[in-house]
Structure formats: C-alpha cells, structure tokens
Amino acid sequence: MLIYRARLDRRYDRIARIVATMKALNILGGAALLVNTEAHYIFGRFIYNHQTTKTWEYIREVSPRPESDRDLALFWPLTDPTSTDLRCGRNASLGWSQPKTAVINAGDTVGFAAGEPKTSIVQPGAYHPGFAGVWMSRSTVESLDGYAGDGDWFKILQITGRTEQSIDFSLPGNASRMDRSKTVWGTYLIESWNFTIPATTPPGLYLIRWEHIFPNVYDAQFYVNCAHVQVVNDGPIGTPGPTVKIPGVYTRGQKDVYFSSYDYGVPGSLDGFIPPKPEVWKG
C-alpha cells in the first residue's frame, strides 16, 4: 500500500510536470522545442515596511545543489529532515552572505515573497500543494551572521487551508489554474505571504524562517528560507513556546508530513488534517 501510494504520488507529480512542460513548450512552425521543466521554488525576498526587498537582501543566501542542472540547482528542495540545511536552506546555517537586518516592532506585519531569481524554468510561487509555517529563533550569539540556528525555535504561523491571502481561483485570470486536488491548500500557487510578529515577542536578534512543505509519502519536500531581523519591543513581553530544535522537529515517515497531499484535495476539504507540532505561539 505504501509503495502504491508513493507511486501514485509520483505519477501525480509527473502529470503536473507534463502539464507544466506543455505550457512551457515553444511551438514554432510545428516544431516543438522541448524544455526541461521542473517545479521548484524559493522564497528569497523579505517583505518589510510594505516593500518587497531584493532577493537575498534580508534573507540568507542558499547554495546551489551541486549535482543539479544549473537553472534548477538553487531551487532544489530539501528532502532530508535530519539535515542542518532544514534550518535555513542549503548551506545557510550561517549567514555567509551577510544579509541586512530588518529592524521591526513586535506587532508589525512582514512577509516572504518568491519569484526571483528568475530562470527560464523555475516556478514563480508555491507550485506544490501543501502547508506552510513561519518560525522564529532568537540568536544565541552577538552577530546574526554567526548564529547557526541551533537554539530554540517557535512557530508563529501555520497555514493549512484557504485564507483571504490565498489565490482567488474564481477570478477570470486564475480560473484556468483551478484544480480541486490542490487548491484546497491555502498556499497553493501563492507568490508571497504576509504575517504579524506577535506583539509580546521579546526584543532581540532573530532568524525568521519561512517553511513550505510539499507532503509526500515517500519523500516530502521542504522549502525553507530565513530572514535576519531585530525585534524592538517596549511593551509587555511574553514567553515564546513550545520550542523545538531544527532539525529534530520532523522524523521521516511521520504521518502528518509523509502523506499524499492529494488524499485531502480530492474530496475538496482538509477535514481530518492536523498539521505537525509544535503549536503556534500567538504572543
């Protein structure tokens, strides 16, 4: 049964890829130019002060996957839940790219955006159906660039089903992208997401981590990126929790990560889906 599910998952992925390839085909005088199309993405732009900043301006740059096609290498998802790459992306457990630090007040709205850097074959947004979360970890050292993300992490947002930020597939421009097996997930095809820093977050230097997960019975895909922020707070201070370590928060095979997202999509609702722990800290 497990093997069958995994195979079904892959078949769905293959169908999605074929559709994407068809869309990317350049048909010139009847001669089709075959384009190698994949379905990965990256959230490399921080939204801050109501502006979408440049790729890697406030977010830790990640490294390309060496064995991958050049255009895809940067976007290749993580699949090992035990890797330190799960913190902030491939080879981004330290801020070697020295991104800027965004100074924000507790209670402010910030966000993450995808879509760049652009290559001919990479998807502009969260192409896969699945769920997302936003996490924070306070630096244990004086410089955020030198913080490995090995301290405590807490979750401030969990996105599973549709919200007012989800893509409206009833709009004429989006209707052709409607797919009942996928649009049940609130982040499906989104290109950015905004959220609020809890009002009682203790002041300090933090990593803010975006995580989009494409569940899969066999090999779930993790899309993660981290921004550098300094939280200012003169008001009441809370105690964030529960906290976890990353990696360590997920185990290969756990049922709320390693399942077929299409199992929920086909009936058109997320009834019965409980996202993985930890609980969200609301401040």
Residue whose CB is less far from Cu ion, 144 or 213: 213
64, 73 contact by CB (below 8 A):
yes
**CA 44 from centroid of its chain's CA atoms:** 10
- 220 counts as binding Cu ion under rule CB under 5 A: no
45, 114 contact by CB (below 8 A):
yes
Least distance to Cu ion, CB of residue 166, Å: 19
Rounded Cα gap, residues 117 and 115, in angstroms: 6
* Coil vs helix vs strand at 93: coil
Site for Cu ion in 225-264 (CB under 5 A): none
Backbone angles phi, psi at 73, to 5 degrees: -60, -40
H or E element, residue 103: strand 102-105
Residue whose CB is less far from Cu ion, 40 or 87: 40
Q: Point out which span in 35-43, 177-185, 249-257, 273-281 binds Cu ion (CB under 5 A).
A: 35-43
Least distance to Cu ion, CB of residue 10, Å: 12
Measured at the CA of 185, the angle between CA 179 and CA 191, to 5 degrees, comes to 90
Residues paired with 131 in a beta bridge: 213
Residue whose CB is less far from Cu ion, 88 or 126: 126
- 212 counts as binding Cu ion under rule CB under 5 A: no
Residue whose CB is less far from Cu ion, 40 or 182: 40
Least distance to Cu ion, CB of residue 191, Å: 15
Of 9, 12, 39, 112, the one binding Cu ion (CB under 5 A) is 39
Q: Point out which span in 36-44, 48-56, 231-239, 241-249 binds Cu ion (CB under 5 A).
A: 36-44
Of 40, 138, 182, 228, the one binding Cu ion (CB under 5 A) is 40
**CA 207 from centroid of its chain's CA atoms:** 15
Residue whose CB is less far from Cu ion, 16 or 231: 16
- 138 counts as binding Cu ion under rule CB under 5 A: no
What is the CB neighbour count within 10 angstroms for residue 172? Answer: 6
Residue whose CB is less far from Cu ion, 39 or 102: 39
> Contacts with Cu ion: how many residues (CB under 5 A)?
2
Backbone angles phi, psi at 237, to 5 degrees: -110, 135
Binding site for Cu ion (CB under 5 A): 39-40
